[in-house]
Amino acid sequence: MMPRRVSILGATGSIGQNTIDLIRRDAGAYDVVALTGAGNIARLAADAIELRAEVAVTARPDLLEDLRAALKGSAVEVAAGPAALVEAASRPADWIMSAIVGAAGLAPGFAALDQGTTLALANKESLVCAGKILLDVARAKGTTILPVDSEHSAVFQALVGEDIGTVERIIITASGGAFRDWPIDNLAHATLDQASCHPNWDMGQRITIDSASMFNKAMEVIETREFFGIDPIQIEVLVHPQSMIHAMVGFRDGGLMAHVGPPDMRHAIGYALHHPNRAHLPVERLDFAAIGLLEFTAPDDARWPALRLAREVMAAGGMMGAVFNAAKEAALDGFIAGQINFVQMAQVVEDTIEQLDRGSGHIHATMTLDNVHKVDHLARKAAKASIEKRAG
Ligand code: NDP
């Protein structure tokens, strides 16, 4: 069999490294086209050499010469900057992993779909900001988008052979993150280190903090709506501290299909990599007798206002998803930089939503990549103003 041509956007990150781990185990089966990263030049260069990538791209033009130096003597091409990411994503490939963090993943993901490449989508921000655009281009080009978020992969798997019209509800689970059991009054004093520790999953820092604030789950609720096209009222969130059941799909006959697996992203990545087949994957096999107990509770809106905000965003429609994502990214930057506290992140997002909802018709303009960028820019500006007001 011919090797499959694969690219990995965000190769140096947590999802990217897990994807490389799977590819490395069967290296002869793949030709690696593009690997991309941003600041971690040493990792990017080492992987590009080992996997004989055609091209390595850093998102940061200021690091182009460092990347060139690290790849000197190899046959790997080098490039840098947002346009180079899009060019790399457009190179003919059979499968591409979209695992850049943040809205920066949107344009390269779009380019890959437009080129006809199957897109394994970890970058949930793309769907939240511009789900309609991605789904439209995938439909127009006959290209497949495969979810990589563990909850959406779980739903996708539970739906194999089913008619989406018979789905009554989709339940996605949340571990509750670092502060699930903290007294609410203490949340304003949570430190960056405390917010950056996840009880079950080993992930990048940003998504780990978003898990503690539930902004990650809020994004996933919107992602569920975009990806599976069901009504927001049909989407439920359950707190499940063990992170073993990732999602459940309830059908109109009362039956529920639950997807159970260890908290290891290599399952969802591997499912997308081998789809529609199932391959042997190096993940733990669960021993239910040893686990003993699986717990579930309803999420508390007072502890996690992000979930209420996600419902408001879906009700507003238009490009409010792009506002939500941009405000959340800016608020997270503000928290990481020590400008605002943990609780103020949700307040900044809420301020921004209110301001853009009130302010103009921007969010209800036609959804195009340009307009999404415009709205993203406006929302970041509004969020920064809200952060400064609180910081000052
Ligand atoms: P990481 O922070 O670990 O990695 C992010 C990747 O994106 C790195 O390769 C990083 O490069 C690169 N990057 C950072 N900024 C930019 C930019 N401006 N332009 C282009 N590339 C950039 O993130 P994760 O792997 O945790 O998450 C990646 C995506 O997958 C996110 O959308 C996240 O929500 C989603 N996801 C992650 C899960 C997980 O388990 N980690 C689970 C489900 C979804 P460098 O490191 O070189 O700076």
84 lines ligand 1 (CB under 6 A): no
Is the pTM for the entire model greater than 0.75? Answer: yes
Q: What is the structure's pLDDT at 201?
A: 83
Q: What is the structure's pLDDT at 202?
A: 85
Ligand 1, atom 40: closest residue by C-alpha:
203
209 CA to middle of ligand 1, Å?
A: 13
Residue in 207, 266, 324 to alter for ligand 1 test, most ligand atoms within 8 A of Cβ? 207
20 CA to middle of ligand 1, Å?
A: 14
Q: What are phi and psi of 296, to 5 degrees?
A: -140, 135
CA–CA dist 166, 176 (Å, integer):
29
108 lines ligand 1 (CB under 6 A): no
CA–CA dist 220, 268 (Å, integer):
15
Q: What is the structure's pLDDT at 375?
A: 96
290 CA to middle of ligand 1, Å?
A: 33
106 CA to middle of ligand 1, Å?
A: 12
CA–CA dist 296, 323 (Å, integer):
31
150 CA to middle of ligand 1, Å?
A: 15
Question: CA torsion sign, 37 to 111 to 215 to 81?
Answer: positive
14 CA to middle of ligand 1, Å?
A: 7
In angstroms, what CA-CA distances link 220 with 30, 129, 237, 296, 353? 30, 12, 10, 18, 18
Ligand 1, atom 26: closest residue by C-alpha:
204
Residue in 43, 62, 97, 101 to alter for ligand 1 test, most ligand atoms within 8 A of Cβ? 101
In angstroms, what CA-CA distances link 165 with 159, 226, 307? 11, 15, 25
Beta-carbon contacts of 245 under 8 Å, excluding residues fewer than 6 positions away, are 154, 173, 258, 259, 260, 294
Q: What is the structure's pLDDT at 291?
A: 94
219 lines ligand 1 (CB under 6 A): no
Cβ distance 261 to 286 under 8 Å?
yes
Beta-carbon contacts of 220 under 8 Å, excluding residues fewer than 6 positions away, are 124, 149, 151, 152, 172
Q: What is the structure's pLDDT at 273?
A: 98
57 lines ligand 1 (CB under 6 A): no
90 lines ligand 1 (CB under 6 A): no
3-state secondary structure 283-348: CCCCCHHHHCCCCCECCCCCCCHHHHHHHHHHHHCCCHHHHHHHHHHHHHHHHHCCCCCCCHHHHH
9 CA to middle of ligand 1, Å?
A: 9
Q: Kindly list the strands in the beta sheet with 245-251, ordered across the sheet, starting from the edge strand earlier in the chain.
A: 235-239, 167-174, 245-251, 256-260
pLDDT tens readout for residues 91-114: 999 999 999 999 999 999 999 999
- For residue 360, the number of C-alpha atoms closer than 13 Å in the C-beta half-sphere is 12
Maximal C-alpha separation, the chain = 62
pLDDT tens readout for residues 332-389: 999 999 999 999 999 999 999 999 987 668 899 999 999 999 999 999 999 999 999 9
Give the other-Cβ count within 10 Å of 288's Cβ. 9
Burial pattern 219-249, b for ≥16 Cβ within 10 A else e, equals: bbbbbbbbbbebeeeebbbbbbbbbbbbbbb
Tell me which residues of the chain have a pLDDT lower than 50: none
Ligand 1 atom showing the smallest separation from residue 149 Cα = 43
